[in-house]
Amino acid sequence: MSKTNFGYVRVAAAVPMVHLADCQANAEECFKLVQEAAKQNVQIVCFPELSITGYTCADLFHNQQLITDAENALQWLAEQTAKIDIIVIVGLPVRCGNSLFNAAAVLRGGKIVAVNAKTWLPNYNEFYEHRWFAPAVSAVRDSITLCNQTVKFGRNLIFDGGEVSFAIEICEDLWTPIPPSSVESLAGAHLIFNLSASDEVLGKHRYLRSLIEQQSARCIAGYIYASSGFGESSTDLYFAGNGLIAENGTMVAESQRFSMDKQLVVTDIDIEKLIADRQKNSTFMTGAGVVRSELYTVVSIDFPESKTTDLQRNIDASPFVPSDETNRQQNCQEIFSIQTGALAHRLKHIGCKRAVVGISGGLDSTLALLVTAKTFDRIGLSRKNIIGITMPGFGTTNRTYNNAVAMMRALGVDCREISIKAACEQHFADIGHDINTHDVTYENSQARERTQILMDVANKENAIVIGTGDLSELALGWCTYNGDHMSMYAVNAGVPKTLVKYLVKYVADFEIDVDAKPYLYDVIDTPISPELLPADSNGNIAQKTEDLVGPYELHDFFIYHFVRNGFAPEKIFYLARKAFAGAYSDDIIDKWLRVFVRRFFTQQFKRSCMPDGPKVGSVSLSPRGDWRMPSDAAWKWLLNGHSDR
């Protein structure tokens, strides 16, 4: 993949104005959009089904002059695009033997590379294409002469451009039980282009979007769909001009429906990500054995070089948090249900009716307490069986202490307070540590003292300790080994830090007692801190985690793209610059990315023995599940490609 664009390919779905049965006028409309696409550095542009003639010509397709005009218009379009560095996919009727086929011609450098015929023809209501066209399987030859060229002809053609391959299906092909793209993607196609002419009826568009998203997900591919628009016959139907582009289950770009103007939908597809997903998903290639070489034909094509480093797509700065409030609420509801369901099963399995939670007044312990309270409600146990323990130490502030106590009382749990100060002072004396030396020993001793209290109370009360640490802390190793790193069930282990506050807000708004709501909201507004160092002169938190380890929104971005997508630091930096433009400078992003890489590798030993906890999203660091890594793996090699920063 090119290092300048990190494996992105720029594609376009074109929706031209239609001049029904006027082939030259349609070719000229297509050429205008090809020129516009070239200005935007598009590498492949796809037009709708039968775009040279128009889809709704009906019995005019039996007119030999129309078919000849279509071929002449294709020749003209090929000549006009000869010096434009772009691949053009355009639809037209073509002859092969004694039959006429609904087909797509692929143009490159003034030549026709190959022609792909439609596999499945609709035979219902107004779409009775069998009246005019033959299905691809009835072709008597695998090549045709078109525009004075002899080219490959048929179905399931794989256009191999070296590092990028693509394939074509036409309209109805997508709606069948086994679309051609299912075979084509197994055969290596990263991009699927669909030339379509789909009319509008109530509710159909929602289904179409879902169909495209699902097929792109099944194929782990980019799916580019271009459908006929304004100018098609309105005798019995209306065509709204859908240009839709999806990538592995997500719609990344789409046209404006019902527009009376031509449209060009442009975006960048991440081929590198698709390849990584296919490699990781072992079930994807399990069915490759059924894709025999005779089912598809590979056609070599000169793939255009990328000419831009500016991505034409949105890069989400918070990949773990849906930007849409409705989706975010639904996600929070589902995650919270996974957490409570998992804890309920664990409690029932071991026959345990009591739980211990250490409550600091911070976000993570608050979420753990809420999960535990809701779980006890679900399984019919009294919340008094939940022992909430606040353990003030040298850095505890009034704000967090008061919130911890108030929350526990509002939720009706067994509220206890055990100060760790005297125990830590004795411990410092025992090991010969100066209490005025605020180093790692000073901090970690407090964390381990708290864990010892929780574990021993759990033993005494026949309970289990509920872990509070989240996924982001595990990734960075921002936890004390055998201190807050340890528990008997870690309900937050799959939840990234950027999502924790949204989960707490969701629970405050929809799931839990109204009396606890004001305290939960104040917890959300409290700076993130382990509170292991003394407060400042005003009694406020002095030790802020993000000042020490870096902004969690950056680290969660790094975690997602490193673990989920397998990207190198150089590409993560490239994406972060776009996602956080105006929020962080290049130097700040670079600084914390280097910290992330170093900490992620050197702190693996903590993840190698982490407690059980439920996976809630696409990223998990459990050594028994999604992330298996040696604790002593080298890490500096990862930054070699990023050393110029």
Q: What is the 3-state secondary structure (H, E, C) of 557-586?
A: HHHHHHHHCCCCHHHHHHHHHHHCCCCCCH
Q: Are 258 and 228 in contact (CB under 8 A)?
A: no
Instruction: Give, in order, the Cα–Cα distances in Å from 153 to each of 136, 142, 342, 444.
Output: 9, 5, 55, 70
CA-based nearest residue to 576, from 324, 323, 316: 316
Structure tokens at 612: 């059980």
DSSP lists the bridge partners of residue 160 as 165, 300
Rounded-to-integer distance, Cα 456 and Cα 530, Å: 22
Rounded-to-integer distance, Cα 355 and Cα 488, Å: 10
Is 171 considered catalytic here? yes
Could you say which of 23, 57, 96, 171 is catalytic?
171
Instruction: Give, in order, the Cα–Cα distances in Å from 402 to each of 360, 406, 642.
Output: 10, 6, 46
Angle at 161 between CA 160 and CA 167, to 5 degrees: 45
Instruction: Give, in order, the Cα–Cα distances in Å from 411 to each of 385, 405, 508, 579.
Output: 12, 10, 11, 39
Residue 507: partners with Cβ closer than 8 Å, 6 or more residues away: 332, 336, 367, 370, 374, 520
Is 118 considered catalytic here? yes
- If you compute the radius of gyration of the chain from its CA atoms, what whole number of angstroms results? 30
Pairing of strands 250-254, 386-390: unpaired
CA-based nearest residue to 33, from 13, 18, 14: 14
Rounded-to-integer distance, Cα 241 and Cα 431, Å: 75
Q: What angle separates helix 517-525 from helix 398-411, to the nearest 10 degrees?
A: 150
- The length of the chain is 645
Could you say which of 23, 29, 30, 49 is catalytic?
49
Q: Are 15 and 232 in contact (CB under 8 A)?
A: no
Q: Are 48 and 91 in contact (CB under 8 A)?
A: yes
Q: Are 295 and 340 in contact (CB under 8 A)?
A: no
Burial group, residue 518, by CB count within 10 angstroms (0-12, 13-18, 19+): middle
CA-CA-CA-CA torsion sign (636, 640, 641, 644) = positive
Could you say which of 118, 152, 262, 571 is catalytic?
118
DSSP lists the bridge partners of residue 14 as 264
CA-based nearest residue to 354, from 382, 378, 395: 382
CA-based nearest residue to 86, from 104, 103, 107, 114: 107
DSSP labels, 117-157: EPS---EETTEEGGGT---GGG-S-SEEEETTEEEEEESSE
Active site members: 49, 118, 171
